């Protein structure tokens, strides 16, 4: 899967304009968030736009009423003043209401976007999720997209009110001297292109920085996460990691400073031009007043109109510029949300009563962006009631086999047959309902024990009897009993009042989780790596007992545990180099027998005698 990185990084006006094509979707997003609030915010913004010019006209009337009051009485002043006060009060009240609605709308919008990102994340396949470009897009979407749509909305709203103010202010100026309005409008537009280029450069800097930002985030994570704390401390990695982080930070700062300097120098040039134009126009207005062409109130109104037109046209330009920039960032959100979900399971078979057989037929698989087969021509068959153990050196392909069987990767060669039917024709979700897996890198949920076990079957979270039975099978019923709040005890140290477990206990919890599933196929990937020999034996006993009527596959490096499996496959460099029962493999006296004996020699003499006995008698 390729994220649209190249297209996004081309620096052209056309590209910026193209980014506006997402506006209908942005509007859809805003509308779907809360249509009523959106309409209210729009109306209030229109009012917000028109109100400065109304205040200006009312102020002018008030000042001029002083002159009229000399002939018509004090009431004229009072009336003009009361109107001004009433309007100001109304305007302030509406401002407060507007910020109230906006603040709530903002929360809803952020929540909606986060939800979309999370939904997309969980719908991706493992292959896509492991792709670094997808990770970059996800990071950018998480970092930027959450607040950008709201900023776009705010910017759009202030553009609307800015345009309304500008038109009304420019209208007043046109009546006095048309060329003044023209000059005030034209100056900011000349700065548009310069600032647009700076904005684009800023985006590109940030865009190209994402991989480095992820690295910086990772350094910080290593230093601040409790899981890494012990090792960082014991290997005294703190200073080194800080240096790495600071190195990246300095390079970011250098780039930011360069852009900020460009922004500053361009800003100074256009500010000077603005001030000169402003001064000249003020002189024209003051001269008209001196020549008695206009009244005092009109002088006040005109000087304010000049400032207002100037600041509004500037704000308008910078508003358009930041809209362009928000668009570029937001485009990344839509690129992420539009990532194709690799596999479409619609219309595939869901009619799986029970898994009776699993057969690998010449299965080969290569990870994306690699050129070596992680699985090469693997074949075996398993029936209900059988257990299979997979052994082999590190990196020989054991876990890959598990990932392929569980559908985490689906683009393999050959075929996998479930009950004699190709796995490709099954709906993956439906198939997964029949599988229970304990992964090598299982998750330690920093939640309570109920969730830690119950996540094996989320629909049964409240079934204490089933949770406790799974705990018993995994040999942690005593542990659950001893916890201060039983199943409802918080586990881990991340949150308050959490009870920390040992590595082996966490592993048993993961096994209990798998036992919660009423599965037909159980896969345990190194379920005993953290268990002591006695616990390991217990777990395997329970496992064999449990899968009596089902199919069990377990991956292990401990030969003493796997010898009881009905079928053992020995893997090397992605290939099945030997397969058969323990006795058959021992008789063969090849790689399996060699490794078994080697491992056993680390144990007691009794065990060695047992090997000799087994090989002679064929006893299991």
Residues engaged in binding ligand ATP (CB under 6 A): 130, 367, 370, 374, 392, 394-400, 440
Residues 96-102: contacts with CB under 8 Å, at least 24 apart: 97/44, 98/41, 98/44, 98/45, 98/48, 101/37, 101/40, 101/41, 101/44, 102/41, 102/154
Q: How far apart are CA 205 and CA 397, in angstroms?
A: 40
CB of 555 to ligand ATP, least distance (A): 7
Q: Which is nearer to ligand ATP, 20 or 218 (CB)?
A: 218
CB of 324 to ligand ATP, least distance (A): 38
CB of 400 to ligand ATP, least distance (A): 3
CB of 410 to ligand ATP, least distance (A): 14
Q: Which is nearer to ligand ATP, 65 or 399 (CB)?
A: 399
Q: Which is nearer to ligand ATP, 209 or 557 (CB)?
A: 557
Q: Which is nearer to ligand ATP, 313 or 400 (CB)?
A: 400
CB 562 within 8 A of CB 389: yes
Q: Which is nearer to ligand ATP, 405 or 471 (CB)?
A: 405
CB of 561 to ligand ATP, least distance (A): 15
Biggest CA pair distance of the chain: 129
The three-state DSSP-derived secondary structure of 438-472 is: ECCCCCCCCCEHHHHHHHHHHHHCCCHHHHHHHHH
Q: Which is nearer to ligand ATP, 366 or 423 (CB)?
A: 366
Strands 357-365 and 413-418 turn out to be antiparallel
CB of 396 to ligand ATP, least distance (A): 4
C-alpha R_g of the chain: 36
Exposed, middle or buried: residue 93 (CB in 10 Å: 0-12, 13-18, 19+)? exposed
In the structure encoding, which two tokens stand for residue 81, read together? 């003043």
Q: Which is nearer to ligand ATP, 203 or 506 (CB)?
A: 506
Q: Which is nearer to ligand ATP, 396 or 505 (CB)?
A: 396
Helix (H) or strand (E) holding 381: strand 375-383
Residue-level length of the chain: 620
CB of 337 to ligand ATP, least distance (A): 24
Exposed, middle or buried: residue 371 (CB in 10 Å: 0-12, 13-18, 19+)? exposed
Helix (H) or strand (E) holding 65: helix 23-72
Q: Which is nearer to ligand ATP, 159 or 570 (CB)?
A: 570
Exposed, middle or buried: residue 231 (CB in 10 Å: 0-12, 13-18, 19+)? exposed
Strands 387-392 and 551-555 turn out to be parallel
Which among 421, 294, 305 has a CA at the least distance from the CA of 355?
421
CB of 327 to ligand ATP, least distance (A): 35
CB of 130 to ligand ATP, least distance (A): 5
What are the residues whose beta carbons fall under 8 Å from the beta carbon of 32, sequence distance 6 or more? 112
Q: Which is nearer to ligand ATP, 520 or 525 (CB)?
A: 525
CB of 570 to ligand ATP, least distance (A): 11
**For residue 119, what are the CA distances in angstroms to 134, 136, 279, 310, 501?**
15, 17, 56, 46, 31
CB of 102 to ligand ATP, least distance (A): 45
Nearest 5°: phi and psi at 360? -95, 130
3-class SS at 417?
strand
In the structure encoding, which two tokens stand for residue 457, read together? 């079957």
CB of 367 to ligand ATP, least distance (A): 3
Interaxial angle between packed helices 210-224 and 178-208, expressed in degrees from 0 to 180 and rounded to the nearest 10? 60
Q: Which is nearer to ligand ATP, 162 or 527 (CB)?
A: 527
CB of 440 to ligand ATP, least distance (A): 6
CB of 379 to ligand ATP, least distance (A): 17
Q: Which is nearer to ligand ATP, 414 or 498 (CB)?
A: 414
Q: Which is nearer to ligand ATP, 102 or 525 (CB)?
A: 525
Q: Which is nearer to ligand ATP, 397 or 527 (CB)?
A: 397
Q: Which is nearer to ligand ATP, 71 or 394 (CB)?
A: 394
Among positive and negative, which fits the CA dihedral 541, 544, 547, 552?
Answer: positive
CB of 373 to ligand ATP, least distance (A): 9
Q: Give the Cα-Cα-Cα angle 215, 218, 220 (nearest 5 degrees).
A: 115
Which among 140, 147, 152 has a CA at the least distance from the CA of 107?
147
First to last CA, the chain: 49
């Amino acid at each position: 899967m390729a994220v649209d990185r190249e297209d996004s990084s081309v620096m052209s006006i056309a590209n910026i304009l193209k980014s506006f094509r997402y506006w209908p979707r942005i509007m859809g997003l805003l509308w779907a968030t809360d249509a009523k609030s959106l309409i209210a915010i729009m109306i209030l913004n229109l009012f917000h736009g028109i109100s400065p010019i109304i205040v200006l006209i009312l102020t002018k009337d008030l000042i001029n009423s002083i002159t009229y009051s000399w002939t018509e009485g004090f009431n004229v002043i009072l009336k003009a003043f009361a109107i001004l006060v009433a309007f100001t009060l109304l305007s302030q009240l509406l401002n407060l209401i507007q910020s109230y609605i906006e603040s709530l709308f903002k929360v809803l919008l952020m929540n909606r976007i986060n939800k979309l990102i999370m939904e997309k994340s969980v719908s991706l396949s493992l292959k896509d999720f492991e792709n670094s470009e997808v990770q970059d897009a996800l990071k950018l979407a998480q970092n930027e997209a959450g607040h950008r749509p709201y900023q776009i909305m705010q910017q759009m709203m202030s553009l609307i009110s800015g345009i309304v103010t500008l038109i009304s202010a420019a209208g007043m100026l046109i009546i006095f001297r048309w060329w003044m309005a023209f000059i005030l409008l034209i100056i900011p537009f000349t700065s548009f292109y310069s600032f647009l280029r700076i904005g684009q450069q800023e985006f590109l800097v940030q865009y190209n920085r994402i991989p480095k930002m992820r690295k910086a985030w990772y350094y910080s994570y290593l230093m601040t996460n409790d899981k890494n704390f012990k090792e960082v401390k014991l290997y005294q990695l703190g200073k080194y990691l800080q240096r790495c982080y600071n190195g990246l930070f300095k390079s970011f700062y250098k780039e930011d400073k360069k852009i900020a300097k460009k922004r500053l120098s361009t800003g100074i040039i256009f500010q000077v031009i603005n001030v000169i134009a402003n001064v000249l126009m003020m002189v024209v207005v003051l001269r008209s007043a001196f020549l008695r062409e206009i009244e005092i109130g009109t002088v006040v109104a005109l000087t304010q109109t000049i400032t207002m037109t100037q600041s509004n046209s500037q704000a308008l330009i910078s508003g358009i510029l930041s809209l362009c920039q928000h668009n570029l960032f937001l485009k990344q959100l839509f690129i992420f949300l539009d990532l194709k979900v690799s596999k479409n399971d619609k219309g595939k078979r869901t009619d799986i009563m029970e898994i009776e057989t699993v057969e690998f037929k010449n299965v080969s698989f290569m990870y994306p962006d690699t050129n070596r087969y992680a699985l090469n021509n693997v074949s075996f068959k398993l029936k209900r009631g059988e257990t299979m153990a997979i052994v082999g050196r590190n990196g020989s392909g054991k876990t890959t086999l598990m990932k392929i069987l569980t559908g985490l990767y689906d683009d393999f060669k050959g075929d996998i047959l479930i009950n004699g039917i190709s796995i490709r024709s099954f709906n993956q979700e439906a198939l997964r309902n029949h599988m229970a897996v304990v992964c090598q890198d299982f998750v330690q949920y920093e939640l309570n024990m109920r969730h830690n076990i119950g996540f094996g079957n989320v629909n049964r979270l409240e079934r204490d009897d089933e949770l406790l039975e799974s705990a018993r099978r995994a040999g942690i019923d005593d542990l659950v009993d001893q916890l201060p709040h039983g199943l409802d005890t918080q586990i881990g140290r991340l949150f308050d009042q959490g009870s920390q477990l040992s590595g082996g206990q966490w592993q048993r919890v993961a096994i209990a989780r798998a036992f919660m599933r009423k599965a037909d196929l159980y896969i345990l990937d190194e379920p005993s790596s953290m268990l002591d020999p006695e616990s390991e034996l217990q777990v395997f006993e329970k496992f064999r007992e449990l899968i009596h009527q089902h199919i069990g596959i377990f991956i292990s490096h401990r030969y003493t545990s796997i010898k009881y499996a009905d079928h053992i496959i020995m893997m090397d460099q992605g290939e099945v180099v030997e397969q058969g029962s323990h006795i058959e493999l021992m008789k063969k006296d090849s790689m399996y027998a060699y490794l078994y004996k080697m491992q056993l020699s680390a144990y007691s003499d009794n065990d060695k005698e047992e090997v000799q006995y087994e090989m002679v008698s064929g006893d299991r």
